[in-house]
């Protein structure tokens, strides 16, 4: 069986202004955005391209530095960008959809970050308000 696969970039983050980001989807994937604005929130998967190197992808233990009091954790218990597959995930608010461009709020990606996927946020499946997380996740940035 295969032990790896290829992901293709379907677009890029082209602008970041404060909490708002502009995502441009490549023309050949635009038809996939039809009716996307029926959802107020989306899950965006992006490629942490600056961490796509052997060293960052070899990271298995981290101390989440932006969260005061966080202990050393296995990387899969953190949202660290240094991880075996540098896939970033953000739940964002869709502010505007216009042809191939999405204006979103809350995307923690850099200008130039490639987009891998956009999925609808479905509260019934994705919202677990009572989920338990350790106290250090409450300090610093959300992820």
What CA–CA distances, in Å, run from 93 to 37, 40, 106?
10, 6, 7
**Among residues 9, 20, 24, 56, the one that binds a copy of itself under rule CB under 8 A:** 9
Supply the DSSP string of 12-42, one letter for each residue: EEEEEETTEEEEEE-GGGGGGGTTGGG-SEE
**Among residues 16, 24, 91, 101, the one that binds a copy of itself under rule CB under 8 A:** 91
Q: Is 110 in the site for a copy of itself (CB under 8 A)?
A: no
Q: How many residues bind a copy of itself (CB under 8 A)?
A: 70
Identify the H or E element spanning 98.
Answer: strand 87-98
Q: Is 73 in the site for a copy of itself (CB under 8 A)?
A: yes
Nearest to 105 by CA among 18, 31, 39, 45: 18
Shortest Å, Cβ 17 to a copy of itself: 20
- Write out the residues near a copy of itself by the rule CB under 8 A: 1-10, 29, 31-36, 38-43, 45, 47, 49, 52, 60-61, 71-79, 83-85, 87, 89-91, 112, 114, 116-134, 137-138, 142-143
């Amino acid at each position: 069986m295969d032990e790896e696969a290829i992901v293709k970039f379907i677009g890029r983050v082209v602008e970041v202004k404060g909490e708002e980001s502009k995502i441009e989807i490549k023309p050949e994937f635009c038809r996939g955005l039809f009716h996307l604005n029926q959802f107020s929130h989306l899950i965006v998967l992006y490629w942490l391209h600056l961490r796509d190197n052997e060293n960052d992808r070899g990271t298995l233990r981290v101390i989440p530095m932006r969260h005061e009091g966080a202990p050393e954790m296995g990387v899969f218990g953190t949202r660290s960008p240094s991880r075996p597959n540098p896939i970033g995930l953000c739940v964002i608010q869709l502010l505007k959809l216009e042809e191939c461009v999405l204006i979103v709020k809350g995307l923690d990606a850099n200008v130039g970050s490639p987009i891998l996927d956009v999925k609808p946020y479905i509260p019934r499946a994705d919202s677990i308000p009572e989920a338990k997380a350790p106290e250090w996740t409450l300090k610093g940035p959300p992820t």
